[in-house]
Structure 1
Amino acid sequence: MDNQRLILLLVFSFSLIMLWDAWVKQGQPHPAPGTTTSVPAATVAAAPAPTSGLPVPGAKAAAVPATPANATAARASVKTDLFSADISALGGDIVRLELLKHRATENTKNNFVLFDDRHAYAAQSGLIGANLPNHRSIWTLPTAGLELKDGQDELRVRLEAAGGDGIKVAKTYVFRRGSYLVGVEHEVVNGGAAAVTPNVYFQLSRNSQAPEGGNAMMSTFTGPAFYTDAEKYHKVDFADITKGKAKAPAQADNGWVGMVQHYFVSAWLPAAKAPREFFIRKLGDDLFAAGVIVPMAAIAPGASGKLETSLFAGPQEQDKLAKVAPGLDLVVDYGWLTVIAAPLFWVLEAIYKFVGNWGWAIIGLTVMLKLIFFPLSAASYKSMAKMRVLTPKLTKLKETYADDRQRMNQEMMELYKKEKVNPLGGCLPIVVQIPVFIALYWVLLGTVEMRGAPWLGWITDLSAKDPYFIMPLIMGVTMFVQTKLNPTPPDPIQAKVMLFMPIVFTGMFLFFPAGLVLYWTVNNVLSIAQQWQVNRMIESAGLKAH
């Protein structure tokens, strides 16, 4: 019996230590970087140059204007049904992107901002080659037609820049209604006397500061990520870039590069079957870039060339990401329990589509899991019920053979054998369910669908803690009731520890997301009902304490 309790205590303690450690890591303040919104001009790298291995003529990096990175540049504001974006004349880049359908974490009255100056987070692009404009060049911004009107399905924002030798370049952003996928077109008109063979690069720049909402209940990844068919999905830590340990994928004709953070992602998605070369680098003090270079075909004098790609910038909605590009849904990271968490979310989402509320979907999933684990739970509760009625006998044996531990253990084993009770029978079912609990923890915290999702009354965000701590207190009460239904440990000290556990769990669950507390509370209520029924059946079957 002591072994059973020890195993259960260790399993639950280990699980909670993992969750608590993740919360503590995320709650720690992020080290203040040396700079956030600007980088000295001396540290700004030139446009990336492709290696000789790229299947196009080697091109040298274009000369970069000596414009300070923190120079004030004009901006054009674009408004669609999903975005409010700022495009800078410096580079023609998207330097601010507000998501109109998602609320900010810290101030829910505001919209969430993905690209911003605070994180030096921007989507940049330009051309590589002599006399070709890049992300340090000045582009001409449009002055009208920057809002997606009612009844309009597409908004095209065209920017222009002049290169040397009669070359003109246009960069066009194509925003579409209801889509987080932005088309980006580069058109080169060769007005010179010689053919040009440009390469177009696309990069995402960012510092290492944690995103808004960095005090969330988990330690989430923030940084670049790559995907190719050959090397699959892999993330790159900012620290590894600084140490020179980061490695971009090999050249390929597929794949994408992205910047991942909790709930949201941005990614450059070149067209399929087009050759590309990936890169990753440190631009300056706490400023990094990850990107991809795509070649254009040679453009003869008097001719023009065009290259189209796409930029995704939005929430990590798994079903939609899978349709955007192969492997893009992998940015939703469930850690080492993905094999359990992914099916759990699939079932949870299916229930949500039926009931229309994530809170009720969690309750439905809890009931479903309880039914699946019913045989194991029944065996566990049956074992604990038998142990409960045997507790007086065990206590008497301990008093009788207090000075002879070996004899006491022998007598206890004989009692177990006589009553056909397995003292460890209640452990395995609970141990099996622990990975499911941890996997559900990652599902509830890692899916943007749960962000800002309400349930009832005061629970307006299932991914955040209960603002009034009502649910954790209810959970604590249910856990206390469960403890009273379990057999009382013969050891007084152990009995006090077991009674203290509901208090410890309640204290930790005060800071857990409301969705997880809801799951645990409903699970406890169902367990109480099942255990009470099993206890009644065992006692009525004739196994009585005497």
Structure 2
Amino acid sequence: MDINKRTILWIVFAVSLVILWNDWMVSNGKQSMFSMTPPPKVATVPAATALAPPVPGALPGVGNVVADPSLPAALKSEIITVTTDVFKVDIDTAGGVIRRLELLKFKEPTHPGWLGGCFGLSKECQTNRGSEKNEVLFEQGGGKTYLAQTGLLGAAGLPNHNTIFVAKPGARALDNGNQVQLVLEGTQGGVKLTKTFTFKRGDYVIDMRHDVTNTGAAPVTPSLYLQLLHDGNKPVGDSFFNSSYTGPTLYTSTDHYNKLKFEDIEKGKASHATKASDGWIAISQHFFVSAFIPASTPREIRTEKVATNLYSISTVQPMGTVAPSATVSTDARLYSGPQDEKRLEAVAPGLDLVKDYIWLTIIAKPIFWVMTQLHNVLGNWGWTIVAFTILIKLLFFPLSAAGYRSMAKMKVVAPKMTAIREKFKNDPAKMNQATMELYKKEKINPLGGCLPILVQMPVFLALYWVLQSSVEFRGAPWILWIQDLSQHDPWCILPILYAISMFVQQKLNPAPADPMQAKMMLFMPLIFSVMFFFFPSGLVLYWVVNNLLSIAQQWVINKKLMPDPLK
């Protein structure tokens, strides 16, 4: 048994070292040792082809734009930029595609460096610190494809995201107003499609109205599609210790929230609702989301591989029969911005679920609510973490006190336990029997020290996901050297404090009876502190404060609350 324990402990130690080295490589822009694929692929778009009549119900390809031969030769596509107080949006008149969306109130994540410059090992870390570039969601180029497209299906040659549209004159910025509109018109196949984009002050929702006018002599039965395209690459900065989800998500009132993987779409194994009359579709990523919220009418939901390393999620909504000279309209909304719970709840039912707390939502949401109330008073998310950790410690103090008393009893009877092991070392059955009799005689619950930890664990895990998922911590400073609670500690001070506090805690607790286990426990502060080099500093701050409070708590219990025979 001792040999097996040593082997397992050394394997765990070796695997931890390998994982730490791999994460160091990833954080410095190197290829992961666990990745079997080359660096991220560039999402490729098929070459331009003539606009052949689409297969009924199938979305047009994402090829380069081909103008309708009936349009004037002088008609060319252009990029129109609309600017509000929250974002800058580039819309291409070729298809009315949203090609770029820049968030003006959020900066892109940057590597804060190590000890002022990544220990001098990475030029990227030294030059990338302090970037003032804004976060960009929709864009195409540099190995990234992320687009929002709309158009019509149902007959040959209907206007779609390949059609050349004409922009009506009008304002392109809010200026002193509260909203600005962009109107695009495109005629093709005897149908005119008018897209109206409405942008409002302080709002990350883009209202989109589609007016379909039949300019031909025969009735048409079009369907409107809303489509989001995204490449299958991992997000920049994603690593083993700080991994995040990027992929298609959707919600319906019957099937509720569903997360999909690009890998499953690639293999044709993506399982999700295919029909709905409410809900939304989205592309979710760490801290941000872009979601189409169609009108509440029956529609289809589709996911597919569009091209090499390029995938889509879309809805297709029938618009009924449109008689000659008649017009049919439908509204939709596009939210593209931060995963702010209040904003998302106000936009659409279930949209706040993209801020994913996994199975801990029932605990995590109340935790975040309490932290928000603390932040309203303190005004700093770092001090909010400290204050919330204190509240958690006070809440679980009676449970922790019971646990420490149980451990103290175990420490008192430790010599007797050692004597039992020596006496029955060749007879495990009698050893267990004698141990249980000792527990019964001394009134010791062997699980007494573990039970408080087990009860608190769901709360601690939920808090981890709150700190990991909340955009509020992104770019939020604490004090001095911590200027972004979502990034690692650039001077490694918090991880070192964690190691010291964990070492002190171990000294206050009873030492393990197994000498090999005791030696390995001495390595644990070092292993965890090195792991915490790569964790967001907000998470490490929580664990440091938690350890310091645990030390103080244990001292109070030992000095004030522990019965005299156990002190």
Instruction: Tell whether the structures are fold-level matches, with TM greater than 0.5.
Output: yes
CA contact (8 A) 1:62 1:132 kept: no
What's 2:300 paired with? 277
What's 1:148 paired with? 174
Structure-2 change in CA distance of 1:374 and 1:34 (3 Å): closer
Distance 2:209 2:513 in 1: 75
Q: What is the DSSP-based 3-state SS (H/G/I as helix, E as strand, rest coil) of the residue aligned with 1:120?
A: strand
Are 1:104 and 2:108 counterparts?
yes
Distance 1:139 1:279 in 2: 26
Structure-2 change in CA distance of 1:489 and 1:227 (3 Å): closer
Distance 1:399 1:539 in 2: 30
What's 1:498 paired with? 521
CA contact (8 A) 1:43 1:283 kept: no
Distance 2:461 2:52 in 1: 43
What's 1:431 paired with? 454
1:243 Cα deviation after fit: 1.4
What's 1:55 paired with? none
1:422 Cα deviation after fit: 3.3
Q: Of the candidates 226, 237, 251, which is equivalent to residue 261 of structure 2?
A: 237
1:321 Cα deviation after fit: 0.7
1:395 Cα deviation after fit: 4.9
What's 1:317 paired with? 340
1:205 Cα deviation after fit: 0.8
1:196-275 equivalences in 2 (<5 Å): 196-215=220-239, 217-272=241-296, 274-275=297-298
1:202 Cα deviation after fit: 0.8
What's 1:53 paired with? none
CA contact (8 A) 1:63 1:131 kept: no
What's 1:39 paired with? 46
Q: What is the DSSP-based 3-state SS (H/G/I as helix, E as strand, rest coil) of the residue aligned with 1:542?
A: helix
1:44-123 equivalences in 2 (<5 Å): 49-50=56-57, 67=65, 74-106=78-110, 108-118=131-141, 119-123=144-148
What's 1:358 paired with? 381
Q: Of the candidates 411, 434, 442, which is equivalent to residue 388 of structure 1?
A: 411
Distance 2:282 2:52 in 1: 20
Structure-2 change in CA distance of 1:426 and 1:298 (3 Å): same
CA contact (8 A) 1:450 1:463 kept: yes
Q: Compute the TM-score of the two structures, normalised by the length of structure 1.
A: 0.85
Distance 2:171 2:183 in 1: 10
Q: What is the DSSP-based 3-state SS (H/G/I as helix, E as strand, rest coil) of the residue aligned with 1:84?
A: strand
Aligned-residue Cα RMSD (Å) equals 3.5
Q: What is the DSSP-based 3-state SS (H/G/I as helix, E as strand, rest coil) of the residue aligned with 2:276?
A: coil
Structure 2 gap ranges (5+): 68-75, 111-127
CA contact (8 A) 2:170 2:181 kept: no
| Letter matched to residue 161 of structure 1 | G
Select between 259-268 and 40-49 the one with higher mean Cα deviation: 40-49
Structure-2 change in CA distance of 1:442 and 1:26 (3 Å): farther
Structure-2 change in CA distance of 1:370 and 1:285 (3 Å): same
Q: Deviations over 1:376-429 (max 9, x none)?
A: 211111122233344455556666777887777666555544443334321121
Structure-2 change in CA distance of 1:291 and 1:46 (3 Å): farther
CA contact (8 A) 1:44 1:284 kept: no
CA contact (8 A) 2:138 2:146 kept: yes
Q: Compute the TM-score of the two structures, normalised by the length of structure 2.
A: 0.82
CA contact (8 A) 2:80 2:90 kept: yes
1:90 Cα deviation after fit: 2.0
| Letter matched to residue 212 of structure 1 | V
What's 1:54 paired with? none
| Letter matched to residue 173 of structure 2 | E
Structure 1 gap ranges (5+): 51-59
Q: Of the candidates 532, 544, 555, which is equivalent to residue 509 of structure 1?
A: 532
1:85 Cα deviation after fit: 1.3
Distance 2:53 2:555 in 1: 71
Q: Deviations over 1:346-395 (max 9, x none)?
A: 32223222322222222222122222222221111112223334445555
Select between 519-528 and 301-310 the one with higher mean Cα deviation: 301-310
What's 2:314 paired with? 291
Q: What is the DSSP-based 3-state SS (H/G/I as helix, E as strand, rest coil) of the residue aligned with 1:174?
A: strand
Q: What is the DSSP-based 3-state SS (H/G/I as helix, E as strand, rest coil) of the residue aligned with 2:278?
A: coil
Distance 2:523 2:302 in 1: 54
CA contact (8 A) 1:473 1:506 kept: yes
What's 2:149 paired with? 124
Structure-2 change in CA distance of 1:488 and 1:88 (3 Å): same
Q: What is the DSSP-based 3-state SS (H/G/I as helix, E as strand, rest coil) of the residue aligned with 2:345?
A: helix
Are 1:447 and 2:454 counterparts?
no
| Letter matched to residue 263 of structure 1 | F
CA contact (8 A) 2:48 2:63 kept: no
What's 2:186 paired with? 161
Structure-2 change in CA distance of 1:217 and 1:179 (3 Å): farther
CA contact (8 A) 1:172 1:184 kept: yes
Select between 463-472 and 364-373 the one with higher mean Cα deviation: 364-373
The number of equivalent residue pairs is: 519
Are 1:460 and 2:486 counterparts?
no
| Letter matched to residue 322 of structure 1 | E
1:332 Cα deviation after fit: 1.4
Structure-2 change in CA distance of 1:46 and 1:489 (3 Å): farther
Distance 2:521 2:351 in 1: 46
| Letter matched to residue 276 of structure 1 | R
Distance 1:494 1:45 in 2: 71
Distance 1:110 1:334 in 2: 29
| Letter matched to residue 135 of structure 1 | H
CA contact (8 A) 1:74 1:88 kept: yes
What's 2:558 paired with? 535
Q: Alignment identity in percent?
A: 47
Q: Of the candidates 160, 164, 167, which is equivalent to residue 138 of structure 1?
A: 164
What's 1:349 paired with? 372
Distance 2:137 2:161 in 1: 19
Structure-2 change in CA distance of 1:168 and 1:354 (3 Å): same
CA contact (8 A) 2:291 2:335 kept: yes
